[in-house]
Structure 1
Amino acid sequence: MTNDMPETTPPKSPTTRRIPLVIGAVLIGAVLGYIGVSSLRHPPGGDAACNGAVTLAKKIAPLAHGEVAALTMATTPLRLPDLAFEDANGQPRKLSDFRGKTLLVNLWATWCVPCRREMPALDSLQTRLGGKDFEVVAINIDTRDPDKPKNFLKEANLTGLSYFSDQKAKVFQDLKNIGKALGMPTSVLVDAKGCEIANIAGPAEWASDDAITLLKAAVQPASAGY
Structure 2
Amino acid sequence: MKLCSMRLILLCSFVLLNNAVQAHSLQNKLYDTGEAIPKPRIMRGFVEMQHARGVPDVPFIDEAGKTQTLKQHQGKLVLVNLWATWCAPCLREIPELQHLKQEYQGKNIAIVPISIDEEPKDVRPFLTQHNFSDYQTWFDPTQNIEQIIPANVVPATYFFDAKGNLVGFVRGYLDWGDKDVIPYLDKLITKYGQ
Counterpart position of 1:150: 124
Give structure 1 stretches of 5+ with no counterpart: 1-42
Query: Using the alignment, how far apart are the partners of 1:132 and 1:80 within structure 2?
Result: 24
Corresponding residue for residue 20 of structure 1: none
Residue in 1 aligned with 2:46? 71
Output the CA distance in 1 between the equivalents of 2:80 and 2:111.
6
1:184-203 equivalences in 2 (<5 Å) = 184-203=154-173
176, 180, 183: which one aligns with 2:153: 183
2:28 maps to which residue? 45
Quote the Cα distance in structure 2 between the aligned partners of 1:169 and 1:139.
10
CA deviations over 1:180-210 (Å, ceiling 9, x no partner)? x441111111111112231011010112212
Unaligned runs of at least 5 residues, structure 2: 1-25
**Counterpart among 74, 89, 95 of residue 99 in structure 1:** 74
TM-score, normalising length from structure 1? 0.67
Q: Contact between 1:192 and 1:220, CA under 8 Å: does it hold in 2?
A: no
Distance 1:101 1:160 in 2: 22
> Could you tell which deviates more after superposition, 122-131 or 147-156?
147-156
How far, CA to CA, are the matches of 1:213 and 1:206 in structure 2?
Answer: 11
- Provide the secondary structure at the position in 1 that maps to 2:113: strand
Pairwise CA distance, 1:160: 5.4
**Could you say which residue in structure 1 is the equivalent of 2:176?**
206
Find the aligned partners of 2:127 and 2:133 in 1 and give their Cα distance. Answer: 7
The amino acid that maps onto 2:123 is P
1:221 and 1:130, CA in 2 relative to 1: closer, same or farther beyond 3 A?
Answer: farther
* Among 52, 62, 81, the residue aligned to 1:87: 62
Tell me, yes or no, if the aligned pair for 1:126 and 1:161 is still in contact at 8 Å.
no
- Name the % identity: 29
- Give the paired residue count: 169
Provide the C-alpha distance between the structure 2 equivalents of 1:111 and 1:191, rounded to a whole number of angstroms: 29
Aligned partner of 2:83 among 83, 87, 108: 108
Task: Give the 3 Å change call, closer, same or farther, for CA 213–123 of structure 1 in structure 2.
Answer: same
Correspondence 1:165 to 2:139: yes
Larger Rg: 1
Higher strand share: 2
Distance 2:140 2:106 in 1: 23
Q: RCO (CA 8 Å, sep 6+): is it higher in 1 or 2?
A: 2
Q: Using the alignment, how far apart are the partners of 2:74 and 2:144 within structure 1? A: 21
Q: Deviations over 1:107-153 (max 9, x none)?
A: 11101121122111111111111324111100011102x23211222
Give the aligned residue type for 2:48: M
Runs of 4+ in 1 over 4 A off after TM superposition: none
